[in-house]
Chains A and B, each alone.
Chain A
Amino acid sequence: MTAIELRGVRKEFADVTAVRDLDLTVEDGEVYGFLGPNGAGKSTTIDMLLDLVRPTAGTVRVLGSDVATAGVAIRRRTGVLPDGFSVYGRLSGRKHVAFAVESKDADDDPDALLDRVGLGSDADRAAGDYSKGMRQRLALAMALVGDPELLVLDEPSSGLDPAGAKEMRDIVRTEAERGATVFFSSHVLEQVDAVCDRVGILRDGELVAEDSVEGLREAVGDGATLEVSAPGADDPAVDAVRAVAGVSSVTRDGDGLVVNCASDAKTAVIGTLEDAGVAVDDFHTREASLEDLFLAYTEGDAAERDPDATDPGSDDDAPATEEVGR
């Protein structure tokens, strides 16, 4: 079965088109990371899954049913951690979870769920006194009520400290092992890397890439970023570096240069600078991180770039960072 299926979905608001002609499929049991910068249309898409927002065109099906007609039945089988929500300030944490249990006709023990998200000792406090991270945990506890078949988590780690974000990932993993489909959005890539089977990247309301994390990394290519400390670099020297085969861009950063190039062009770059009479004090390289990859898709033109055009002769096993002092 297909957990989530969007076909030709478009959403126009009065002044902006938030989502354009989006086709998206999430299979049963999959952990799908829905990525994009803020304002890309992620929350609008999730709001359409929940029937909070109705598409201008296209169909949205969740767990096999159309959300426009079967929203309540779908949400009975779905756990949701919304974005930008607020809690009922006068009600305790336990009452929140008990309300979710009652709403879903489930038989979970609210205290057990609160324990699971680390709020066991705060169950009796009014949720209005909770911190942002605690509210996020509370909403997660509510989402876990009734062992849902599908978990929709909108920016689940927002407001959480690194330890909290890790607990969140652990819970996502546990739920996935139980057999639940997990669909979550994020603008932080490292959360996705660790838990996702598949990633979709949304930009300006369009899906610009969809693959496994490894697949995306390959598609963008494994270029490196070379940071060179060379105070004496003048314009001719910079031009000479630009002309080196495998160099895609050179930018000045104070006394240094930031060179994007294929991994095997690094030596040639340093050599060219020295040939031009520029003293290189220090340099280090960085493998393309997921962050670079993400930025390439969301800001640059990687989506249109042919993956085969990247240099194949790079060393995959090289350490991510190597520092060379001179």
Chain B
Amino acid sequence: MSLQAIARKDFQETVRSRGMIALVALFSLLVAAFAFAVRPTGGSEQFATELLLSVFVGPVLVTTLVPLVGVVVGYNAVSGERESGSLKLLLSLPHSRADVVFGKVAGRGAALALAVFVGFLLPAAVLIAAPIAFNPGAFLGYTVFAAALGVVFVAIAVGSSAAAGTQLRALIGGIAIYVLFVLLWGLVTGRLLGAASPVVDALPASSAQVRAFLRASNPTTGVEILSNAFLGEQLFSGETVNQQVSAAAMLVFWTVAPPLAGLLKFDADDL
């Protein structure tokens, strides 16, 4: 099938990408260093793995570096081929433009997920060697969330790449995605919320609820909500279940909507 052929082609290309390999190696080293640095010296702590992930590795490394790798892997997916001319080779074959966009999301997302798993191997080795209670289930589960976060950012970046006519615009789009979702989400949505307070007051929801929704609707904080619930053994249960469901729904939204929006523009363009 056409989409699978493109996905496989892009996967093979992306796993050979030096940029991604370098970023993932850096990520792996940093996580391992963190794991080593904050390892408990006593032997009494039972939740060491979970604590390490949710307090140290998660907020400091995963939610900043994994989206960065996702954007790097995705931002030039379509625009790069368009500018270089390899898109001509690709569309000379029986592929639709939708196959191209979603095949790239799938192939590059899979490559990034693989890289994240590989990147977590070294920290796992450190944790196993360290004198703590290593919880492989929690660790592996967390890795899945980290990979999912990366895939969402690949999807957003590929969508932006499909809409961008040139590499420069794609680069600007990629940077904008990263800055908005990773660095400024709280600030921007806080300002908006402040500016729109009359509107918010009129909504049949408290501003705390709106705030909680905005938190869940950013893929970065959304993954944080879900992974923390998972590490606290409260995934899709407990007090925050509603917020978790919105966060999961928003992750699906961010995986599908940006590529669709990008495709709309890409499909109408002369190439």
B and A form one assembly: yes
Interface residues, chain A, CB within 8 Å of chain B?
A: 13, 47, 50-54, 71-73, 75-76, 80-88, 90-91, 95, 99-100, 102-104, 139, 142-143
Select the stretch in B88-96, B219-227, B253-261 that faces chain A. B88-96
State how many residues of chain B have any CB contact under 8 Å with chain A: 22
User: Quick check: B9 and A52 within 8 Å, CB to CB?
Assistant: no
Contact across chains for B86 and A86 when beta carbons are under 8 A apart: yes
Q: Interface residues, chain B, CB within 8 Å of chain A? A: 2, 5-6, 8-9, 12-13, 16-17, 84-86, 88-89, 91-96, 270-271
Out of B8, B12, B86, name the residue touching A85 (CB < 8 Å).
B86
Contact across chains for A90 and B16 when beta carbons are under 8 A apart: yes
| Contact yes or no, A99 B9, CB < 8 A | yes
A contact residues around B270 at 8 Å (CB):
13, 47, 52-54
Structural contact, B16 and A85, CB atoms closer than 8 A: no
Q: Give the complex CA separation of A102 and B9 in angstroms.
A: 10
Contacts A85-B85, A99-B8, A103-B94 known; list 11 others, CB within 8 Å: A47-B270, A52-B91, A72-B94, A73-B94, A80-B92, A82-B88, A88-B13, A90-B13, A90-B16, A91-B13, A95-B9
A82 with B84: CB separation less than 8 A: no
In the complex, what residue of chain A is closest to B14 when comparing beta carbons? A90
Residues in B neighbouring A142, C-beta threshold 8 A: 89, 92-93
- CB contacts (< 8 Å) of B91 on chain A: these are 50-52, 75
With a CB–CB cut-off of 8 A, which chain B residues contact A99? 5, 8-9, 93
Residues of B within 8 A of A103 (CB): 2, 5-6, 93-95
Closest to A80 in B: B92
Residues of A within 8 A of B2 (CB): 72, 103
**Contact among A53, A73, A95 for B271, CB-based, below 8 A:** A53
Q: In the complex, what distance in Å separates the CA atom of A47 from the CA atom of B270? A: 9
Residues of the A chain whose Cβ atoms lie less than 8 Å from the Cβ of B16 = 90-91
The distance in angstroms between the C-alpha atoms of A73 and B93, with both chains bound, is 10
Contacts of B94 in A (CB 8 A): 72-73, 75-76, 103-104
Nearest to A13 among chain B residues (CB) is B270
Instruction: Determine how close the nearest CB of chain B comes to the CB of A94; give it in whole angstroms.
Output: 12
Say whether A143 contacts B92, CB under 8 Å: yes
A104–B93 touching, CB < 8 Å: yes
CA distance A52 to B267 in the complex (A): 10
A residues in contact with B95, CB < 8 Å: 72, 75, 103
What B residues does A86 contact at CB under 8 A?
Answer: 84-86, 89
A85 pairs with B93, CB closer than 8 A: no
Chain A residues with CB under 8 Å of B12's CB are 90-91, 95
Q: Looking at the assembled complex, report how far the CB atom of A86 sits from the nearest CB atom of chain B, in whole angstroms.
A: 4
A154 to B, closest residue via Cβ: B88
Max chain B Cβ within 10 angstroms of own Cβ: one of A54, A72, A80, A100:
A72
Pick the residue among A13, A84, A95 that contacts B88 (CB under 8 A).
Answer: A84
Contact B96 A47, beta carbon cutoff 8 Å? no
Q: State which of A54, A82, A90, A102 has its C-beta within 8 Å of the C-beta of B89.
A: A82
Once the chains bind, are A47 and B271 in contact (CB under 8 Å)?
A: yes
